[in-house]
Structure formats: C-alpha cells, structure tokens
Amino acid sequence: MKTDDLIEALVEDRARPSMTPRAAILGAVVSGAVIAGILFMMVLGYRADIAQAAETYRFLFKFVLTLTLAASAITLALQVFRPEAALGRRLWLIAVAPAMLAAAALAELFVMPSSTWLPRLIGTNARFCLTMIPLFSVAPLLAFFAALRKGAPANPGLAGALAGLGAGGIAATLYASHCTDDSPLFVIVWYPIAIGFVTLVGYLAGRRWLRW
C-alpha cells in the first residue's frame, strides 16, 4: 500500500463515528427484547384472563419488579462498558428489586392465612417458569454480549453477569404476562432461580468471551 493510500485510510477510519456505549447497550435492549417478544408470542402469548388480571396489584407488581431489575442491570452495564469504569457504590441498584420483592412477600404472609402460604409458593407453573424465562433470555443475552464486545470491560465476569441479569429481567417481564401465579410467594422463589441461572450463564460466558 502506498503511503498516500495508508494516510487516506487512516483519516477515513478516524472520521468514521464509533458507536457510543449507550447506543450499543440500548440497541441491544431493543433488538433483544423485540426478538424475545416475537418468540414469546409464537410460543406462549398472553394469559387468557389478562384484562381481569391487570386489575389486581399482584399481577401488576410482577412487572414493576422485573422492569426494575432489568433497568438496574442495564444501567450498571452502561457503566462497565469501558475499562476505566468502576461501579463502586452503584452496585446498590441491584438490591432494589430484591428488596421490593422481599417486602411484598412479607406483606403476603401477613394478609393471607397460613394455610395458603405453601400452595401459593408452589403455584401451578414452577417448572414452566424455570424453562421459559431462560429460553426467552437467549436473544437479549446474545444482543448484550454483542454490544459489550464493542467495549473493553475491566471485569468480564461482572459484565457478563449484568448482561445475564438484564436479559433475565426482560425475559421475566414477558413471561409474567403469561404466568397465572401472581403471588409474591411464588415469584420470590421461582423467578430468582430462573433469572439467577441466566445470570450465572452470563458470568461464565463473560469470563471467556468478554476478555481483552
């Protein structure tokens, strides 16, 4: 390559705008959620009584919980995109959704007879929950990894775990619209197991695929 050609190529490369961390992560959120949503509608769809369920606070609370979890993970993922970033005290954001869920479960124990606790905890769709949430997490998780690979996270395992947590939150939001088990006692057991599995997969994958 001639010197003039090399200089021209370098100038063009420098002028080409690179994707910002925010754009990359938000693009991953949108694309992953859309693909997961399409898969959800093909496989499950909304519960038959969703209009009636939407009038109950237990049903609506599931979305407050899962969206808070997803938003917390996505916010932190934006912070670990670059090697100089440090989360520090921002990690407290991860505790917001679990704290809300713990409070809701405690309230359920107070307002419901003890004879209903175990049936509400076991529910009717536990195995389905443990299967569907990881399934609907695949597309968002892959999208998050594609975005994070454009950066250079200093802690690949943590970045992968946040990707898994965000993907699990998105998937759980979709699944919550199908799930007929609305009790916080059910949610506090089975949703964290399913999302935790996705988070673990993200952590292990991050340690391998997000290293630089």
Domain count within the chain: 1
| Angstrom distance (rounded) from CA 131 to CA 208 | 25
pLDDT in tens, 13-70: 444 456 677 788 889 999 999 999 999 999 999 999 999 999 999 999 999 999 999 9
Residue 7 maps to a domain: no
Residue 55 maps to a domain: yes
Per-residue pLDDT at 3: 55
Residue 8 maps to a domain: no
Residue 50 maps to a domain: yes
What pTM did the predictor assign?
0.88
* DSSP codes of every residue in 56-114: SHHHHHHHHHHHHHHHHHHHHHHHSSSTT---GGGGGGGGHHHHHHHHHHHHHHHHS-G
Residue 3 maps to a domain: no
Per-residue pLDDT at 128: 92
Residue 1 maps to a domain: no
Kindly give, in sequence order, each residue whose CB lies less than 8 Å from that of residue 177, ignoring residues fewer than 6 positions away. Answer: 46, 47, 50, 63
pLDDT in tens, 180-204: 999 999 999 999 999 999 999 999 9
Residue 33 maps to a domain: yes
Residue 127 maps to a domain: yes
Per-residue pLDDT at 12: 52
Q: Domain residues for 69? A: 19-209
CB 171 within 8 A of CB 137: yes
